[in-house]
Amino acid sequence: MPVEKINTLVVGGGQAGVAMSEHLGNNGIPHLVLERDRIAERWRTARWDSLVANGPAWHDRFPGMEFPDFDPDAFPGKEAVADYFVEYAKKIDAPIRCGVEVKSVRRNEGRAGFTALTSQGVIEAQHVVAATGPFQKPVFPEIIPAEADLMQIHSNAYRNPDQLPAGAVMVVGAGASGAQIAEELQQSGRQVTLSVGPHDRPPRSYRGRDFVWWLGVLGKWDMQTPGPGTEHVTFAVSGANGGNTVDYRRFAAMGMTLVGRTENYENGTLRFSGELPNSIAHGDRNYLSVLDEADAYAERNGLDMPTDPAARQMLEDPDCIRDPIRALDIAAAGITSVIWATGYTQDYSWLQVDAFNDAGKPDHRRGVSTEPGVYFVGLPWLSRRGSSFIWGVWHDAKFVADHIATQQTYLEYTPAASAQTIDA
C-alpha cells in the first residue's frame, strides 16, 4: 500500500483543526487536516436546531475574519457558525480532506515520526495534532434504568420539542445546554422540571456591555486554572432569544419546576439533593461578583458608562427554591421524557501513544504532550478558560504551531563544522 508522507497531520476539521491549519501555514509547515465528516460537523449535527452561539458575532470568531453579513452584536445560529468555518478554511486555503477517518496513530519503531491508519490509506507524519474536540462522547449517569417507560436522550441528541413524546419533560443539568433546552421546552408549552446543581451564571450584559466583554477586560477568559473548588462548576449562559441572563427564578416564574441534583431512582420515583438553595445562592454570588468587579473596573478606569441598578434586583424565591422538592413520582408528574444535559467525555482510543496520564487524560502543557511530536488543541483549560471556545482555540493553536515550527528548525539544523569536516 503506498504511504503518503506529510510533516504534520492534524486530526479533526472543526474550528481547532482550521485554526491549526492557519498557524501551521503561516509557519510554512506542510500539513494535512483529516476530517471524518464535514468541516465543523459538530456545529451542524451535534447541536439542537435553535442553538445560537453563546457569544455575539464580534467575539465568537477568529481574528482573521468577521461573520459575513451579520450584525456583530447578534448571536449567529449554529449553521452560520459552521458556514463561517467553511468560509474561513477557503480563505486560508486550508488543506482539509473531508470524509477521511483516522483509525489509529502509532509511533514508528526505531525511526522518527508516526504512522496513521486512515479509512483511505496510510499516512506518515513527524507531528500529529489531535483536534478531535473538547466535547466528543455524551455522558450521563445510569440513574434511570433503560427499561423505565421513558424516552431518555442526551442533550447531544436533542433537536426540538416536537421530537419528544407528548407530556412533561425532565431536564437534568442546568449549564448552558440544559438551561437553554429547558427554557425552549417550557416556552413551547411543555411542563419542565429542571435539575440544577452548582453553577456560575454571569449577567448577559451589564452597563451596556455584553458579558464576553466584561470577562475579557477583567481577565477571566485568560484565567489559567479554575478557581479552587470550581473545577466542575458549570457555566450557564445563553444567546437564545437575543441573549438573556440565565435566571432560574425567571424560569420558575414561567412555570418551570426547579429541583436539586438528581441522585437516584427507585420504583418510578426520582430523588434529588436538598442543595438547590445553596446552588442558587452560589450562582447569585458569582453573578453579583461580576457586577462588583465590573463596577470597580469602570470606576478605576474612569469609564463613562450608564449605571444599571436593576441588574442587582432579584426575583423572589419561588416555593421550589424555598422548600426544595426531594422526590418526584415520574408518572404522577406526567413526565414522559428525560434529557440529560450532563456533559461529555473524550475518546482518544485512536491515538495509541504515550501522551496520557494514569487517569487516561491527555498529559500536556499548553497542548504539548508528554509524547514528543504529539499535540492537543481545543481541550477545556488547555491553556486558559477560553481554550475550548472559538476565539480561545485560535490562540492555543498558534502556540502549538509555533512549537512545531521550532522543533522543525532543530530537526533541519546541520552543524556548519560537521559540514566542513565532510567537505574536507
The residues that touch ligand FAD, with contacts defined as CB under 6 A, are 11-17, 34-37, 41-43, 47, 53-55, 60, 101-102, 131-135, 177, 350, 378, 388-390, 393
Residue 123: how many other CB atoms lie within 10 Å: 22
Nearest 5°: the CA angle 141, 144, 149 is: 145
DSSP state of 101: -
Whose Cβ is closer to ligand FAD: residue 235's or residue 297's?
235
Contacts of 326 (CB under 8 A, 6+ apart): 260, 271, 272, 274
The half-sphere exposure of 278 on its side-chain side, counting CA atoms within 13 A, is 7
CB of 38 to ligand FAD, least distance (A): 7
CB of 288 to ligand FAD, least distance (A): 24
Q: 13 is written with which cell numbers?
A: 476539521
Query: Is the Cα dihedral 204, 206, 210, 212 positive or negative?
Result: negative
| Shorter beta-carbon distance to ligand FAD: residue 77 or 324 | 77
Q: How far is the CB of 101 from ligand FAD (least distance, A)?
A: 4
Supply the minimum distance, in Å, between the C-beta of residue 239 and ligand FAD: 7
Nearer to ligand FAD, 298 or 393 (CB): 393
DSSP result, 123-139: EEEEEEEE-S-SS-EE-
CA atoms within 13 A on the CB side of 141: 9
Query: Do 123 and 111 contact (CB within 8 A), yes or no?
Result: no
CB nearer ligand FAD, residue 321 or residue 377: 377
Give 53 or 320: the residue with its C-beta nearer to ligand FAD.
53
Distance between CA 391 and CA 81 in Å, rounded?
Answer: 12
Pairing between β-strand 192-195 and β-strand 364-365 as defined by DSSP bridges: unpaired
Beta carbon nearer to ligand FAD, 221 or 251: 221
Q: How far is the CB of 167 from ligand FAD (least distance, A)?
A: 24
The enclosing H or E element of 154 equals: strand 151-154
Least distance CB 420 / ligand FAD (angstroms):
46
Q: Which is nearer to ligand FAD, 50 or 278 (CB)?
A: 50
| Nearest approach, Cβ of residue 347 and ligand FAD (Å) | 8
